[in-house]
Amino acid sequence: MAKKIIATASLSGCFGCHMSFLDIDAKILDLIELVEFNKSPIDDIKKFTKQCDIGLIEGGCCNDENVHNLLDFRKNCKVLVSVGECAIMGGLPALRNMVPLQECLEEAYLNGPTVRDCNENKIIPNDPELPKILNKVYPCHEIVKIDYFLPGCPPTAELIWNALVTLATGAELKLPYESVRFD
């Protein structure tokens, strides 16, 4: 059986889902028998070098660079999996959706207690080299088609392991009740 090719990326989030993925510990050696990594911080490949079978995406879309990266993942991955609450619902970054963007920027760069006295020129960064901040944080499925969702903040290493092995072996991913319902 040919190895499945996997890509991973983190958009706007805390990188905790990748850390949970790394918590599969020594099983990563077993995973390497089933998959080959392509674009991923795990192997430090920065650009897609081939079409991937499975893409894991964590984080939501807070800026135009996140949207570009997510569109690139959808184009280069046959199956795309939203991993974690930021990718699925916007997570903690989406709390800013309740406050107008200008108000958020003013708090962050002008009025916040840690910047109030050190931003004498009252500058809000606005350089063409910086990603353009979106008016709200979007979960991934509002930007592209997502095939599967792995819930959790972050999802457990066991859930990520089981999902990867299932998808790498060509089986249909079915989440256990406990992973989507907390009684």
CATH value at residue 8: 3.40.50.700
When the pLDDT of each residue in the chain is averaged and rounded to a whole number, the result is 93
Q: Is residue 81 part of a domain?
A: yes
Tell me if 128 is assigned to some domain.
Answer: no
Determine, yes or no, domain membership for 149: yes
Entry pTM? 0.90
Count the domains in the chain: 1
Say which residue, 109 or 177, is predicted with more confidence.
109
* Residue linked to tokens 């991923």: 40
In tens, the pLDDT along 116-142 reads 888 889 999 989 999 999 999 999 999
Chain position carrying tokens 């807070």: 62
Give, in order, the Cα–Cα distances in Å from 5 to each of 110, 154, 165.
45, 23, 12
- 3-state SS, residue 4: strand
- Between CA 83 and CA 65 the distance in angstroms is 19
Q: Determine the structural domain holding residue 45 and report its residue range.
A: 4-92+136-180
In a domain, 109, yes or no: no
Residue the block writes with tokens 């072996």: 169
Please indicate, yes or no, if residue 98 is contained in any of the structural domains: no
Q: Is residue 144 part of a domain?
A: yes
> Quick check: is 97 in a domain?
no
Q: Which amino acid is at 65?
A: E
